[in-house]
């Protein structure tokens, strides 16, 4: 079993889900009392969020690369960045380490292709919904048609993620707004919707909507467990 190197804390609530799902998957695969071999570096999300809002992606890439290198030195067999947005730095991390990086978009695309979906809705932070690092990978590498909410909805979703979900406030977050936006994406032709922020699945469940949801936290964590056994 390869040791999984997690870069977590973005946020700790969703990183907790990674740890749980990875270990549950290993337990199912190997049976008995087996659990995953995991190393983790957990960052201060307050510092990460500030740099994101400032647009200081060079410093963010340095932080993610340093974390990945430290995991590599400690014996990790591969790297998992436990968040969607910070995959903007994934290419820099991969170029500056000597072990594989398991990309969340590739893991998600594999599930999409296995289900035969072609047109996909995407929810996440404004960085994930608007910038090329995520959408273009799905379009150019996997030939998918990716649609996102309108500008006003993108801004509202981003604000709710940053101000409420990332602060662990799931009780007061306006769940109905996420549901309305997901249903609008389905109305616009999305065959499934990517929950492209690892906090959204903590609020929105499949039973809330009819359109298939792609929980990137679960998909990525299960892929990490599978990869550790290859």
Domains contained in the chain, CATH given: 4-103+219-229 (3.40.50.1860), 104-215 (3.40.50.1860)
Tell me what pLDDT residue 28 has.
Answer: 97
DSSP sequence for 59-116: HHHHHHHHHHHHHHHHT-SEEEESSSGGGGGHHHHHHT-SS-B--HHHHHHHHHHHHT
Instruction: pLDDT band for 171, please (50, 70, 90 cuts).
Output: confident
CA distances from 172 to 85, 189, 191 (A): 23, 30, 29
pLDDT range class, residue 174, cuts 50, 70, 90: confident
Contact 228, 37 (CB under 8 A): yes
Predicted local confidence at residue 183, as pLDDT: 98
* pLDDT tops 80 at residue 191: yes
Q: Which two tokens stand for residue 199?
A: 């906090």
Catalytic residue among 11, 25, 83, 216: 83
Percent of the chain clearing pLDDT 90 (strictly above): 95
Catalytic residue among 15, 82, 89, 197: 197
What pLDDT is recorded for position 172?
Answer: 66
Q: What is the DSSP letter of 92?
A: H
Indicate if 82 belongs to the active site. Answer: no
**Do residues 6 and 198 lie in contact, with contact meaning Cβ atoms separated by under 8 Å?**
no
- In this prediction, residue 199 carries a pLDDT of 95
The 10s digit of each residue's pLDDT in 26-60 is 999 999 999 999 999 999 999 999 999 999 999 99
Whether 8 has a pLDDT exceeding 90, the answer reads yes
d(CA 225, CA 35): 10
Taking the alpha carbons at both ends of the chain, their separation in whole angstroms is 8
In this predicted structure, the answer to whether residue 169 has a pLDDT above a threshold of 90 is no
Average pLDDT (9-17) is 96
Asked whether the bond before 11 is cis by omega within 30 degrees of 0, the reply is yes
Of the pLDDT bands very low, low, confident and very high (cuts 50, 70, 90), residue 173 is low
Question: In the predicted model, what is the mean pLDDT of the chain?
Answer: 96
Strand partners of residue 214: 194
Q: What is the pTM of this model?
A: 0.96
Is the pLDDT assigned to residue 196 strictly greater than 80?
Answer: yes
pLDDT in tens, 120-151: 999 999 999 999 999 999 999 999 999 999 99
Rg (CA), the chain: 17
Give dist(CA 172, CA 43) in Å, integer.
26
Query: Can you tell me which residue has the tokens 């994406």?
Result: 185
- Could you tell me how far CA 168 lies from the centroid of its own chain? 17
Contact 139, 113 (CB under 8 A): no
User: Dihedral, CA atoms, 198, 54, 181, 148, nearest 10 degrees?
Assistant: -90
Catalytic (active site) residue 197: yes
């Amino acid at each position: 079993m390869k040791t999984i190197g997690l870069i977590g804390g973005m946020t700790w609530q969703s990183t907790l889900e990674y740890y749980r799902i990875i270990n549950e998957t290993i337990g199912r695969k190997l049976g008995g009392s087996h659990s995953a071999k995991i190393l983790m570096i957990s960052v201060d999300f307050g510092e990460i969020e500030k740099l994101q809002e400032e647009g200081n992606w060079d410093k963010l890439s340095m932080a993610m690369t340093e974390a990945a290198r430290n995991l590599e030195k400690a014996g990790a067999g591969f790297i998992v960045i436990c968040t969607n947005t910070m995959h903007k730095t994934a290419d820099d991390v991969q170029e500056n380490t000597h072990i594989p990086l398991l990309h969340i978009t590739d893991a998600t695309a594999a599930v999409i292709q296995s289900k035969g979906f072609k047109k996909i809705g995407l929810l996440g932070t404004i960085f994930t919904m608007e910038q090329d690092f995520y959408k273009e990978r799905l379009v150019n590498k996997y030939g998918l048609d990716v649609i996102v909410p309108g500008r006003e909805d993108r801004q509202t979703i981003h604000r709710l993620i940053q101000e409420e979900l990332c602060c662990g406030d799931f009780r007061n977050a306006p769940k109905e707004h996420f549901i309305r936006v997901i249903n609008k994406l389905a109305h616009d032709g999305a065959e499934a919707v990517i929950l492209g922020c690892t906090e959204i699945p903590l609020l929105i469940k499949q039973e809330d909507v009819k359109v298939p949801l792609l929980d990137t936290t679960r998909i990525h964590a299960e892929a990490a467990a599978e990869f550790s056994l290859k």
